C-alpha cells in the first residue's frame, strides 16, 4: 500500500522520480534490447492517453513482435486495457479520449488523419472481455466480417471461410450441425471461441484480447488458453489479463503496467522468476493487486 | 410530365445507375471485389445518389417557386382595370383563374379576359413542367455519369456514401430546431403586423376583449377591443381548477402505485391510467359538454346556485381528469428515481411507510414533482378542445368558477375557423394570442424541463 | 433517557402514527378509485349515449315504381331516369297509400317526414341494380327519418306534453300503426359506416372522416418515422457532446410540450399561406402532425437505441465494421421493435389530435369521400367535434358512436404497441 502511494506521488512530479529512486531506473531498465524488436509487427513510441483531464497512460513505448503472444498485466486501473484499445483505435468511440504519440503498423502511424479505421480494424482484430456474439445465427456471426470487407466472391468462398475460422477456433466439431442457430444460445466458453472465430474470419495479423477469459469458468478458460497457443503460429496476439498464471501459461513476453506506466517488459519467464523492478516483484508475489 | 411521374422516372434512373456503378467497380477491379476500397454495392449507391439527389433538389426548389412565379407573370399580363381592384379581390380573381385553368368551378361567370388569363396560366404551367422534366433528367444523367466515371479501385465510395447518410441523419435531427424557428417566425411575423394596427400595450393590459371589428362605421356592438387580460384570467381560472383536481389525485395515485400497491393492483391500474391518458381531448370535450356541464348546472339549480351551462368549473374539472394520468406518470418517474437507500435509511429507523414518504421521499423528489406540475400547468394552458367545446365564448373578467369564461385557445380557434381575410386585425389577433400562448408555455416548459433534468442528474 | 423510557414513548405514539399511516394510505386508494371512477363515468356516458347509433329504424313501404313519375319521357334510359325521375314523389305516393286517411296538406307534409330525405336515392339505387322493377309494386325497406328513429329508440319521451315535444302525437300514432303492421324495425346501421358527412343525421356516416384520417396518418407515418429514427440515430450514435447537440435536445424536449394548437398556427402560416398548399388537405394535416409527433418518436427511438448493449457495438467495430455499418447492421435491427412501439404510440396520438387540424381548415363540411392526399377532407376527431356542435338529438347518438369507433382504433393501436413491447422486449 505504502509503495503504491509513493509511486502515485512519484508519477505526479517528474523531479521526484529521480530523488525517489523508485521509478527512475525502471524507465532506463526497460532498455533497448527488449523494447525495440527486429521482428516488430506494431511499434508504439511515447504513447500518452488522456480521458478529458485525466492522464491515463504515460509515455508508453512497446513493440509487439510477429507471431508472439504478449501479455499485459498489472493491477486494475493500471491502463493495460486502455493501452490495448489504442492499438486498433477502439478508443475512438469514447468522445473525451485523446491519444498522443506514435503507434505504427507497416510503417504507417495508425493515428494519422489519412488512416481509415475500418481496414485497420480488419488488420488488428479484437476479442472482448465478455463474449459478445451478435444476436444472429452462428454462421452469420462469422460471415459478417468477410461480408462487409468483401472477402468472399461467392457463397462457397464464404462457407469455406466460416468453416476454416470455426476450425481454427476449435469450435467446428461442436457447432457444425447447428450453424443456423443463434450464437447467443452457446455456452459462455463456446461464445468466446465464436468471438475468436469471428475475429480470425477476416484474417487479421494482430488479435487483441481484452481479458478474454474473465467471464469464463476454469475449464472453458483452459480451452481458450490452448487455442491462443495454437493461434500463435498464424497471428500476433496481445492479451490483457488480470491472472498472472494465465500470463505465465500463454505468453512469451509480459509487460507490467502500473498506474498508467509501463514499468517493465521482458520474456515472461524472466519477469516471473527474476523481475528487475520492485513494483513488479511486489505484484507477482501478491503483495498488492 | 407530372411531378409524381418524374420522381418515378428519376428513381428508375438511379436504380439503373446503382447497377451500372456496381458493375463498373467490378470491372475496374477485374472482378475481384477484394481489390476495391469499398464493397461493390457502395459504388452502386454512390452513382445512384449522385444521380438522384441533385435532381430532387432542383425538383423541390422548382416546385416551391413555380406557383408564385407563374402567378406573378399571369397577374402582370392582366388588364390594368382588373389589376387595380385591391389585394383581396385580386386574390379571388387569381383563384378563379387557377380554377379555370385546372378545370374547376369559379365563383363568377368567367369573362374573356379571365379565360385568356387562364389559358396563359395553363400554358405557363405546361412549359414549366416540361422544362422541369428536361432539367431534372439532364442533371440526373450528368450527376450519374460523372459519379460513374469516378469509380476506381482506390475510390473511397463507402466513406462518401456514409457521409451523405450522416448528412441526412444530422439534418433530420436539426428539423426540431427548424420547427421551433418556424413556430416563432410564423407567429411573430403575423403578431407584429397585428401590433402595427393595435398598440401592444392595449393588447397586454386591456380589460376588454371583443374582436368583432366594425365593417361599417355606424355598426353597433363592434368595439374591436383586443385586451388579453380577460382571456388570461379565464385560462388561469380553468387551469387552476384543473390543477386542484389533478395535482393531489395524480400525486397520491402515483405514490400509492409505487409505494403501496402490490404487483397485481399495479398490473390492473396502470393500463387503466394509460387508457385515461390516451383518450383524445375531443372526447373529453364532448364528455364535458354533454354530461358534466348539464350535471353541474342541474345540481347548482337544486342548491339554488346559478351555474352557467358553460361554466369554468365544468371545463376545469374535465381538464383535471385529463391531466391526472399525466401528473401521475411524471410523479411516478420522479418517485422511482429516489434511491432505495434513502427509503431503507428511514425504514431502518422504524419510520412507517407514510412517514418515509412524507419526510424522505417527497422532500427528495420535490424538485422533480414541482417540475412535473409545471409541465402539467403548461399542458392545461395549451389544452384546446375541452375548452372549445365546454367553455364559453364571451370574455368575462371574473374569478367565479360558476360563470362562463373564455380562454386564449378558444379565441384562437374562434378567430381562425371559418372564412377569414389575412390582414384583418381579427385574424392577426389569433397569431398574437398564439405568440403569447407559445411564450407562456415555453417559459413554463424550459423551467420545468431544467428543474427535472437537474433533479435526475442528482441521482444518476 | 433510558432505553425503557424511550421505548415507552415510542409505544405511546404508535396508535397515532398508525392512524396517520392508514389515513395516508386511504388518500392513495381514494385517488386511484377517483381516477377509475372518472374513466368509468366517461365510458358509461359515451357508450350509454352511443350504442343505439349502431342501429337505425327502417320503414317498409309498398312502392310502385310508376313509369309515369320515374320516366315521364318513356326513354327507358337509366341515365335520364337517374336525372329526371321523381323518386321522392314515388315514396310520397307510397306513404299516402299506406295512410289513406291523411288528406290535409299540413298533415301530408308531416307524413312525408316519416322517411329520410335520402330515401329517394335508395330507390334509385334499387332500380339501378334491378331495372326490371320498373312498373311493379314492391315492398321495400327505406330509412326512417332521424326524428322517428329517436322516438323508436326512446330518446324522445312520449310522456312529455305535446307542445314541448319535437315529434307530435299524430306522428307517434302513425309510428304505432306501422309497428302494429310490422312495417317498422331497427336494423344494423350500415350507412353510419359507409357514408360521408350529411346534414341529415340518418344519412351521416363516418367513412369519409375515417378515410381522411387514414390518409393523414399515412402522410404522418411516412414522414415522421424515418425522420424521427434518423434524428434519434444521429443524436444517440453520432452527435458529439457540444452546445449544438444540447441545443437540438432542448428543442426536441420543448417541442414535445408545446401546445398542439401552436403547431396548427405554424401549419396555417407556413404550409398554407407561405407555400400555398391547399386548405383542408390530408397532406397539410399530415405535415403538421409529423412535426407534432416527431418529438415522441425521437424520444422513444433514442430510448430503444440506448437499450442496445454497447458490447454489440464493440463487437461490430472490433471486426472492422464502420460506424454506419455497425448502426445499420446491428444496432438498428435490435432497436426496431422499440422504435415501432414509439411510432405506434405517436400515431395514436396523431389519430386523436383535433386542435391543429381545425387551424388548417380540416373542419369543413365535406360530404364526398376523399380520394387522395390533396382532396379536401376531415378526420375522425374533427368529425366528432362537428357533430358534437349539431343540435339534433340524433347527432348526439352518432357523436358518441363515432367516439366509440375512434376509441376502438386507439385501444387497438395501444394494445399492438404493448404486444410488440412484450414480444420483443429483451433483457441483456
Instruction: Name chain C contacts of A110, Cβ cutoff 8 Å.
Output: none
pLDDT at B228 over 70: yes
Q: Which of C21, C34, C257 is facing B354, going by the closest CB pair?
A: C21
Confirm if A165 and A200 have CB atoms less than 8 A apart.
Answer: yes
| Those residues with Cβ within 8 angstroms of residue C422's Cβ, 6 or more apart along the chain or in another chain | none
B129 has a chain A CB within 8 A of its CB: no
- The answer to whether residue A114 neighbours chain B at the CB level (below 8 Å) is no
B218 CA to chain C: closest CA distance, Å? 32
Q: Which residues of C touch A125 (CB under 8 A)?
A: 318-320
In this complex, the chains that touch B, judged by 3 or more CB pairs closer than 8 A, are A, C
Q: Is residue A7 scored above 50 in pLDDT?
A: no
- Cα R_g (chain B), whole angstroms: 31
Q: Which CATH superfamily is domain C207-424 in?
A: MetI-like (1.10.3720.10)
Cα–chain center distance at B139:
35
Closest CB from B168, B249, B385 relative to C34: B249
Q: Three-state DSSP class for A198?
A: helix
User: Which residues 6+ apart lie within 8 Å of B302 measured at CB?
Assistant: none
Q: What is the pLDDT of residue A15?
A: 36
Q: pLDDT by residue (tens digit) across C270-284?
A: 888 888 788 889 999
| Å between C389 CA and nearest CA of chain B | 8
Kindly report, residue by residue over A156-207, the tens digit of the pLDDT: 989 999 999 999 888 999 999 999 999 888 998 999 999 999 998 988 989 9
Closest-approach residue (CA) in chain B for C49? B290
**Radius of gyration of chain A measured on its C-alpha atoms:** 20
DSSP, residue by residue, B416-427 = HSSS--TTSHHH
Look at A274-278, B32-36, B353-357, B443-447 and tell me which has the smallest mean pLDDT: B32-36
C42–B355: do the CB atoms touch at under 8 Å? no
**A146 vs B contacts (CB less than 8 Å):** none
Record: contact C334-A132, CB cut-off 8 A: no
Domains of chain B: 3-155 (no CATH), 223-458 (1.10.3720.10)
Asked if A193 and A165 touch (Cβ cutoff 8 Å), the reply is: no
A118·C320 Cβ contact <8 A: yes
Cα A257 from Cα A73, distance rounded (Å) = 6
CB-nearest partner of B354 from C24, C49, C257: C24
Beta-carbon separation of C265 and B431 below 8 A: yes
Compute the distance between CA of residue B224 and CA of residue B426 in angstroms, rounded to an integer: 8
Which of C277, C354, C363, C393 is the best substitution to test chain B (most B C-beta atoms within 10 A)? C354
Distance separating alpha carbons of residues B443 and B437, to the nearest angstrom = 10
Beta strands in chain A (DSSP E): 40-51, 54-65, 69-73, 97-105, 108-109, 124-127, 206-210, 236-240, 253-258, 261-267
**C255 — pLDDT class (breaks 50, 70, 90):** very high
Q: Which of C240, C269, C323 is the best mutation test for B, with the most CBs of B within 10 A? A: C269
A128, A130, A148: residue with CB nearest C318: A128
pLDDT of residue C426: 63
Q: Which among C266, C296, C301, C357 is the top mutation candidate for probing chain B, defined by the most B β-carbons within 10 Å of its own β-carbon?
A: C266
Alpha-carbon span A48 to A98, nearest angstrom: 8
pLDDT band at B107 (very low <50, low <70, confident <90, very high): low
Task: Please report which confidence band the pLDDT of residue A4 belongs to, taking 50, 70 and 90 as the band edges.
Answer: very low
Say which of A116, A118, A150 has its CB closest to residue B33. Answer: A150
Distances (CA, A) of C132 to C75, C129, C138: 15, 9, 11
Neighbours of chain C (3+ CB pairs under 8 A): A, B
Q: Where are the domains of chain A?
A: 2-8+38-284
Nearest CA in chain A to C329: A144
As a whole number of angstroms, the distance between CA A31 and CA A35 comes to: 6
Size of interface B-C (CB pairs under 8 A): 263
Distance CA B247, CA B319 (A): 12
B35 touches A at CB < 8 Å: no
How many interface pairs between A and B have CB atoms less than 8 angstroms apart?
15
C248/B282 Cβ within 8 A: no
The greatest distance separating any two alpha carbons of chain B, rounded to the nearest whole angstrom, comes to: 96
Instruction: Supply the pLDDT for residue B437.
Output: 94
* Over residues C365-376, mean pLDDT: 86
Annotate C293-352 with DSSP letters as a single string: HHHHHHHHHHHHHHTS-HHHHHHHHHTT--HHHIIIIIIHHHHHHHHHHHHHHHHHHHHT
CB contact under 8 A, B158 and A118: yes
The helix or strand, by DSSP H or E, that contains position C426, with its residue range, turns out to be none
Tell me the domain boundaries of chain C: 3-51, 56-194, 207-424
Q: Taking CB atoms and an 8 Å cutoff, what residues of chain A touch C425?
A: none
pLDDT in tens, A216-265: 888 889 989 999 998 988 899 999 998 888 999 999 999 999 888 888 88
Q: Tell me how far apart the alpha carbons of residues B321 and B301 are, in angstroms, rounded to a whole number.
A: 24
Instruction: Return the residue in C241, C245, C315 with the most chain A beta carbons within 10 A, the one to mutate for interface testing.
Output: C315
**For residue A177, how many other CB atoms are within 10 A of its CB?**
8
CA-nearest residue to A202 within chain C is C319
Distances (CA, A) of C396 to B389, B390, C51: 14, 15, 11
pLDDT over 70, % of chain C = 99
| CA dist A84 → B120, B197, C225, C384 (Å) | 73, 70, 40, 65
pLDDT score at A2: 37
CA pair distance B370, B356, nearest whole angstrom: 19
- State the pTM of this model: 0.85
Whole-number mean pLDDT of chain C?
Answer: 88
Nearest residue in C to A123, CA atom: C320
Least Cα distance to C236 among C295, C308, C294, C293 occurs for: C308
Q: What is the pLDDT of residues B401-416, one digit of tens each?
A: 888 889 999 999 988 8
Q: How far apart are the first and last CA of chain A?
A: 10
What are the cell numbers at B347? 425504514
Please indicate whether residue C379 or residue C167 has the higher confidence score (pLDDT).
C379
> If pLDDT is split at 50, 70 and 90, which confidence band does C42 have?
very high
- Select the highest-mean-pLDDT range: A31-35, A57-61, C17-21, C216-220: C216-220
- In the structure, how many helices (H) and strands (E) does chain C have? 19, 3
Name the grid cell of C46: 359515451
B18: cell is 446503382
A151 close contact with B: CB closer than 8 A = yes
d(CA C44, CA C39): 9
Asked if A150 has any chain B CB less than 8 Å from its own CB, the reply is: yes
Strands A108-109 and B223-226 come out as unpaired
C-beta atoms of A150 and B158 within 8 A: no
Residue C220 is predicted with a pLDDT of 96
- Which tens digits make up the pLDDT trace of A98-111? 899 999 988 889 99
Q: How far is A113 from chain B (nearest CA, A)?
A: 14
Q: Which fold has domain A2-8+38-284?
A: Rossmann fold (3.40.50)
C-alpha cell at B233: 384570467
Hey, of C265, C404, C415, which one would you mutate to test binding to chain B, going by the most B CBs within 10 A of its CB?
A: C265
pLDDT tens for each residue of C178-209: 888 888 888 898 889 998 888 888 889 999 99
- Minimum CA–CA partner of A146 in chain C: C319
Q: Residue C325: closest CA among chain A residues belongs to which residue?
A: A148
Tell me which chain A residues have a C-beta less than 8 angstroms from the C-beta of B33. 150, 153
B159 shares contact with chain A (CB less than 8 Å): yes
| pLDDT score for B32 | 77
pLDDT at residue C12 greater than cutoff 90 = no
Residues B331 and A184: their CA atoms lie apart, in Å, by: 38
Nearest Cα residue in chain C from A204 = C319
Disruptive mutation site among A134, A150, A211, A212 for chain C (greatest number of C CBs within 10 Å): A134
Grid cell in block for residue B239: 387551469
- CB contacts, 8 Å: A118 with chain B: 158
Q: How far apart are CA A257 and CA A70, in angstroms?
A: 13
Chain B environment of A151 (Cβ under 8 Å): 34
Amino acid at each position: 500500500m505504502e509503495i503504491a502511494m509513493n509511486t502515485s506521488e512519484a508519477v505526479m512530479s517528474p523531479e521526484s522520480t529521480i530523488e525517489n529512486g523508485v521509478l527512475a531506473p525502471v524507465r532506463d531498465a526497460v532498455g533497448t534490447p527488449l523494447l525495440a524488436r527486429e521482428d516488430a509487427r506494431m511499434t508504439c513510441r511515447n504513447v500518452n492517453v488522456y480521458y478529458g483531464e485525466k492522464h491515463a497512460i504515460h509515455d508508453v513505448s512497446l513493440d509487439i513482435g510477429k507471431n508472439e503472444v504478449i501479455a499485459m498485466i498489472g493491477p486494475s486501473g493500471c491502463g493495460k486495457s486502455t493501452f490495448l484499445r489504442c492499438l486498433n483505435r477502439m478508443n475512438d468511440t469514447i468522445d473525451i479520449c485523446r491519444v498522443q504519440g506514435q503507434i505504427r503498423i507497416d510503417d504507417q502511424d495508425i493515428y494519422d488523419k489519412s488512416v481509415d479505421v475500418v481496414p485497420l480494424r480488419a488488420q488488428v482484430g479484437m476479442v472482448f472481455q465478455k463474449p459478445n456474439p451478435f444476436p444472429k445465427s452462428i454462421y452469420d456471426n462469422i460471415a459478417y466480417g468477410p461480408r462487409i470487407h468483401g472477402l468472399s466472391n461467392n457463397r462457397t468462398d464464404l462457407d469455406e471461410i466460416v468453416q476454416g475460422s470455426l476450425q481454427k477456433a476449435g469450435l467446428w466439431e461442436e457447432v457444425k450441425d447447428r450453424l443456423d442457430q443463434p450464437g447467443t444460445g452457446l455456452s459462455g466458453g463456446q461464445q468466446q471461441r465464436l468471438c475468436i472465430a469471428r475475429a480470425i474470419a477476416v484474417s487479421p495479423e494482430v488479435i487483441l484480447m481484452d481479458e478474454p477469459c474473465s467471464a469464463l469458468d476454469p475449464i472453458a478458460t483452459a480451452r481458450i488458453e490452448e487455442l491462443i497457443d495454437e493461434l500463435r503460429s498464424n497471428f500476433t496476439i496481445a492479451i490483457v489479463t488480470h491472472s498472472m498464471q494465465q500470463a505465465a501459461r500463454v505468453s512469451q513476453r509480459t509487460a507490467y503496467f502500473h498506474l498508467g506506466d509501463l514499468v517493465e517488459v521482458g520474456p515472461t519467464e524472466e519477469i516471473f522468476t527474476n523481475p528487475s523492478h520492485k513494483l513488479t516483484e511486489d505484484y507477482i508475489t501478491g503483495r498488492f493487486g | 410530365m407530372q411531378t409524381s411521374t418524374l420522381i418515378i422516372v428519376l428513381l428508375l434512373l438511379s436504380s439503373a445507375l446503382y447497377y451500372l456503378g456496381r458493375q463498373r467497380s467490378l470491372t475496374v477491379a477485374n472482378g475481384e471485389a477484394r481489390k476495391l476500397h469499398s464493397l461493390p454495392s457502395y459504388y452502386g449507391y454512390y452513382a445512384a445518389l449522385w444521380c438522384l439527389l441533385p435532381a430532387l433538389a432542383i425538383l423541390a426548389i422548382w416546385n416551391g417557386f413555380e406557383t408564385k412565379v407563374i402567378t406573378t407573370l399571369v397577374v402582370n399580363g392582366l388588364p390594368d382595370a382588373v389589376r387595380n381592384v385591391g389585394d383581396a379581390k385580386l386574390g379571388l380573381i387569381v383563384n378563379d383563374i387557377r380554377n379555370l385553368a385546372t378545370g374547376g368551378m369559379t365563383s363568377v361567370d368567367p369573362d374573356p379576359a379571365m379565360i385568356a388569363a387562364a389559358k396563359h396560366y395553363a400554358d405557363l404551367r405546361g412549359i414549366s413542367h416540361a422544362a422541369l422534366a428536361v432539367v431534372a433528367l439532364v442533371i440526373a444523367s450528368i450527376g450519374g455519369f460523372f459519379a460513374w466515371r469516378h469509380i476506381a479501385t482506390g475510390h473511397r465510395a463507402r466513406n462518401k456514401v456514409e457521409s451523405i447518410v450522416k448528412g441526412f441523419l444530422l439534418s433530420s435531427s436539426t428539423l426540431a430546431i427548424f420547427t421551433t424557428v418556424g413556430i416563432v417566425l410564423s407567429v411573430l411575423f403575423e403578431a407584429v403586423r397585428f401590433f402595427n394596427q393595435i398598440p401592444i400595450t392595449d393588447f397586454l393590459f386591456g380589460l376588454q376583449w371583443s374582436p368583432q371589428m366594425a365593417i361599417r362605421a355606424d355598426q353597433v356592438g363592434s368595439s374591436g377591443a383586443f385586451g388579453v387580460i380577460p382571456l388570461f384570467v379565464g385560462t388561469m381560472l380553468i387551469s387552476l381548477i384543473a390543477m386542484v383536481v389533478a395535482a393531489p389525485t395524480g400525486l397520491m395515485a402515483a405514490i400509492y402505485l409505487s409505494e403501496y400497491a402490490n404487483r397485481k393492483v399495479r398490473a390492473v391500474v396502470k393500463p387503466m391510467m394509460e387508457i385515461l391518458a390516451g383518450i383524445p381531448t375531443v372526447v373529453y370535450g364532448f364528455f364535458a359538454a354533454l354530461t358534466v356541464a348539464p350535471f353541474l348546472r342541474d345540481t347548482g339549480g337544486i342548491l339554488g346556485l346559478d351555474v352557467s351551462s358553460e361554466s369554468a368549473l365544468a371545463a376545469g374539472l374535465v381538464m383535471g381528469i385529463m391531466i391526472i394520468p399525466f401528473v401521475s406518470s411524471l410523479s411516478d418517474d420522479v418517485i422511482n428515481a429516489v434511491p432505495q437507500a434513502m427509503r431503507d435509511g428511514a425504514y431502518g429507523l422504524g419510520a412507517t411507510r407514510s412517514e418515509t414518504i412524507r419526510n424522505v421521499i417527497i422532500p427528495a423528489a420535490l424538485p422533480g414533482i414541482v417540475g412535473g406540475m409545471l409541465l402539467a400547468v403548461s399542458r392545461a394552458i395549451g389544452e384546446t378542445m375541452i375548452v372549445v367545446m365546454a367553455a364559453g365564448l364571451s370574455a368575462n373578467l371574473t374569478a367565479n368558477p360558476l360563470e362562463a369564461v373564455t380562454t386564449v385557445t378558444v379565441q384562437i380557434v374562434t378567430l381562425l375557423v371559418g372564412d377569414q381575410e389575412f390582414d384583418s386585425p381579427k385574424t392577426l389577433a389569433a397569431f398574437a394570442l398564439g405568440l403569447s400562448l407559445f411564450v407562456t408555455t415555453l417559459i413554463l416548459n424550459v423551467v420545468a424541463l431544467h428543474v427535472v433534468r437537474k433533479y435526475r442528474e442528482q441521482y444518476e | 433517557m433510558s432505553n425503557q423510557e424511550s421505548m415507552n414513548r415510542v409505544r405511546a405514539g404508535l396508535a397515532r402514527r398508525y392512524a396517520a399511516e392508514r389515513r395516508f394510505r386511504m388518500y392513495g386508494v381514494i385517488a386511484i378509485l377517483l381516477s377509475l371512477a372518472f374513466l368509468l363515468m366517461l365510458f358509461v356516458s359515451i357508450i350509454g349515449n352511443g350504442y343505439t347509433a349502431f342501429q337505425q329504424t327502417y320503414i317498409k313501404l309498398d312502392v310502385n315504381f310508376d313509369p309515369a313519375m320515374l320516366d315521364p319521357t318513356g326513354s327507358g334510359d337509366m341515365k335520364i331516369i337517374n336525372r329526371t325521375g321523381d323518386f321522392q314523389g314515388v315514396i310520397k305516393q307510397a306513404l299516402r297509400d299506406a295512410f289513406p286517411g291523411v288528406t290535409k296538406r299540413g298533415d301530408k307534409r308531416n307524413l312525408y317526414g316519416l322517411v329520410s330525405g335520402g330515401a329517394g336515392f335508395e330507390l334509385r339505387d334499387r332500380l339501378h341494380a334491378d331495372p326490371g322493377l320498373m312498373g311493379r309494386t314492391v315492398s321495400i325497406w327505406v330509412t326512417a327519418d332521424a326524428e322517428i328513429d329517436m322516438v323508436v329508440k326512446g330518446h324522445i319521451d312520449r310522456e312529455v306534453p305535446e307542445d314541448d315535444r319535437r315529434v307530435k302525437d299524430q306522428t307517434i300514432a302513425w309510428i304505432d300503426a306501422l309497428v302494429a303492421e310490422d312495417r317498422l324495425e331497427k336494423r344494423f346501421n350500415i350507412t353510419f359506416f359507409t357514408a360521408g358527412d350529411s346534414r341529415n343525421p340518418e344519412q351521416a356516416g363516418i367513412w369519409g372522416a375515417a378515410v381522411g384520417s387514414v390518409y393523414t396518418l399515412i402522410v404522418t407515418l411516412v414522414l415522421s418515422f424515418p425522420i424521427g429514427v434518423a434524428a434519434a440515430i444521429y443524436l444517440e450514435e453520432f452527435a458529439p457532446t457540444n452546445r449544438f447537440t444540447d441545443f437540438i435536445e432542448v428543442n426536441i424536449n420543448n417541442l414535445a410540450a408545446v401546445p398542439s394548437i401552436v403547431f396548427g398556427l405554424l401549419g396555417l402560416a407556413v404550409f398554407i399561406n407561405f407555400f400555398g398548399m391547399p386548405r383542408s388537405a390530408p397532406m397539410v394535416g399530415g405535415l403538421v402532425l409529423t412535426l407534432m409527433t416527431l418529438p415522441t418518436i425521437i424520444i422513444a427511438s433514442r430510448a430503444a437505441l440506448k437499450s442496445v448493449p454497447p458490447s454489440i457495438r464493440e463487437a461490430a467495430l472490433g471486426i472492422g465494421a464502420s460506424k454506419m455499418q455497425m448502426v445499420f447492421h446491428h444496432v438498428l435491427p435490435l432497436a426496431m421493435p422499440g422504435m415501432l412501439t414509439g411510432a405506434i404510440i405517436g400515431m395514436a396520438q396523431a389519430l386523436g389530435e383535433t386542435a391543429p387540424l381545425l387551424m388548417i381548415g380540416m373542419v369543413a363540411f365535406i360530404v364526398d369521400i376523399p380520394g387522395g392526399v390533396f382532396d379536401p377532407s376531415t378526420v375522425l376527431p374533427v368529425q366528432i367535434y362537428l357533430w358534437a356542435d349539431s343540435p339534433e338529438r340524433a347527432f348526439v347518438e352518432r357523436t358518441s358512436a363515432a367516439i366509440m369507433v375512434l376509441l376502438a382504433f386507439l385501444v387497438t393501436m395501444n394494445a399492438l404497441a404493448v404486444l410488440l413491447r412484450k414480444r420483443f422486449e429483451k433483457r441483456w
